[in-house]
Amino acid sequence: MKKVSDFATDLTDGWPRPEEIEHYFLGRPEKRWFFHTGNDGARFTVEGVEGTDRLERGYGGRKDITLWMTAHPKLGVTLTWRKWDGVKQHVYDSKGDLSRLRERVKDMHGMELPVGLFISYEKAWQAVKEFLNNEGTLPKSIEWMSSDELPSDIFPDPSPFGSSKNSA
């Protein structure tokens, strides 16, 4: 398995130890995340899970998992967990206040995101820590909803996270 981290504008092989990034989630509100860098998104990827590390990417059968994160200073963090199994993408989004699902907020790059998928920094931290400690498995510490359950127009076309409805 190969792990890749794109967090706090550092693209590196491997993942940080949870205690190295905890302050981005649990620090004082004005110190959370790394907005000062001009970036509000991050990801952790593990390539070749479930013994598929020797297989080719894409349709070669290799299974890859990515946890995408986008933070907002007041709303918290939205998480998207995506597993590509060589045939289909399995995509789950953090489940926040679904009564606000149709409300939008722009990220730092102008992408509109549904407010109803944001969860608190504290909840997001539990899920991120669980992801890092369990080789990328879907965290059980928060509620998720399958992208198939989301209204088809919830993300601008194309989806920033490769919705299973719109991409292969």
Quick one: pLDDT at residue 159? Answer: 44
Quick one: pLDDT at residue 156? Answer: 64
Quick one: pLDDT at residue 165? Answer: 39
Return averaged pLDDT per consecutive 10 residues of the chain, 168 residues in all.
92 94 92 89 94 79 94 96 89 96 92 95 98 96 93 65 40
Enumerate the domain spans of the chain: 2-149
CA–CA distance, 41 with 111 (Å, rounded to integer) = 11
Quick one: pLDDT at residue 126? Answer: 98
Quick one: pLDDT at residue 99? Answer: 95
Q: Where are the beta strands (DSSP E) in the chain?
A: 2-7, 10-13, 41-47, 64-72, 76-84, 89-94, 104-106, 112-114, 118-119, 144-146
CA–CA distance, 121 with 25 (Å, rounded to integer) = 5
Quick one: pLDDT at residue 167? Answer: 36
CA atoms within 13 A on the CB side of 102: 2
- DSSP one-letter code for 24: H
